[in-house]
Amino acid sequence: MTARFSASGNRSLSNKAARTFKTFPMAGVMKRAGPSMLASAFLAFAPVGGATGTGAEKGRALFDQCKRCHQVGSGATHRIGPHLNGIFGRGAGSIEDYRYSSAMKAAGREGLVWTEETLDEFLADPRGMIPRTRMGVAGMESGEDRAALLTWLLDFSGDGGGLPTAERTSTPEEYGLDPRILEVAGDPEYGAYLSSQCTTCHSAEGDERGIPSISHWPADDFVIAMHAYKQGKREHPVMQLVARQLSDEEIASLAAHFLAAGHEP
């Protein structure tokens, strides 16, 4: 896989390892200010001083594009995507308890290891590199942006020490939603019936071709996303239409179903 990568101006792992590992006084600044936290999160994560401050700030800001699916840092867990702690040097699709696409696992078996170079290629065009990956995002065009993001990520996920607390992938507050939507109980059996409406477009197998996979999504992320569509705070005409038909209980039921069931054999 790595043979297809055309590096231009990327720093090597060994150079990076020589850099000082920064620690961040996160406990205080991680507190959320309210619905407008998206804009302020960038500032909250900015390191206080330090030689590489500007690059790290940029990388942190760019991670906003990733954080709806990925967590990194202390306490990070798998969400829609796998957590990114310790990703550098790890084989693709190799964490035991995350359900990767079969394409990602196959890439790992063929020897793909995540390095700055391979991650740079992947971020530039995920489906160009691994056509059936579940990471169905368009890719980050700018090489400078990718380098900044990877630099920041390498700082945080390089080892276990000094990591900030992992940010939540999504919160009701970021869409101005009532946090009580997360407390609504769902009926997985009802969710299973309702889900048949979803699988017309969202592959039950979890394939990722033009329409995102929703199998095995964490329930909170699912509920927040659907309510955001319902309130018109996430854009997509089909999803807004679907969400507008669903009650709070029905959304919770779907979340319960997709978390547990995914594809039934």
Cβ proximity to another protein, 10 vs 195, nearer residue: 195
Member of 33, 38, 241, 260 binding another protein (CB under 8 A): 241
User: Judged by CB under 8 A, does residue 245 bind another protein?
Assistant: yes
Contact 208, 135 (CB under 8 A): yes
Cβ proximity to another protein, 58 vs 216, nearer residue: 216
Q: What are phi and psi of 254, to 5 degrees?
A: -65, -40
Cα–Cα dist 159/74, whole Å: 11
User: Judged by CB under 8 A, does residue 145 bind another protein?
Assistant: no
The three-class DSSP label of residue 206 is: coil
HSE, CB side, 13 Å, CA atoms: give it for residue 112: 22
Near another protein in 86-105, by CB under 8 A: none
Stretch that binds another protein, among 3-11, 61-69, 116-124, 239-247 (CB under 8 A): 239-247
Nearest to 120 by CA among 139, 102, 105: 139
Cβ proximity to another protein, 15 vs 245, nearer residue: 245
Cα-to-chain-centroid distance, residue 224: 15
Query: In the bound complex, what is the minimum distance in angstroms from residue 71's beta carbon to another protein?
Result: 26
Near another protein in 187-216, by CB under 8 A: 187, 189-190, 193-194, 196-197, 199-205, 207-211
User: Judged by CB under 8 A, does residue 253 bind another protein?
Assistant: yes
Say which residues have a Cβ less than 8 Å from residue 62's Cβ, sequence separation at least 6: 140, 145, 148, 149, 152
Residues within the interface to another protein (CB under 8 A): 187, 189-190, 193-194, 196-197, 199-205, 207-211, 237-238, 240-242, 244-245, 249, 253, 264
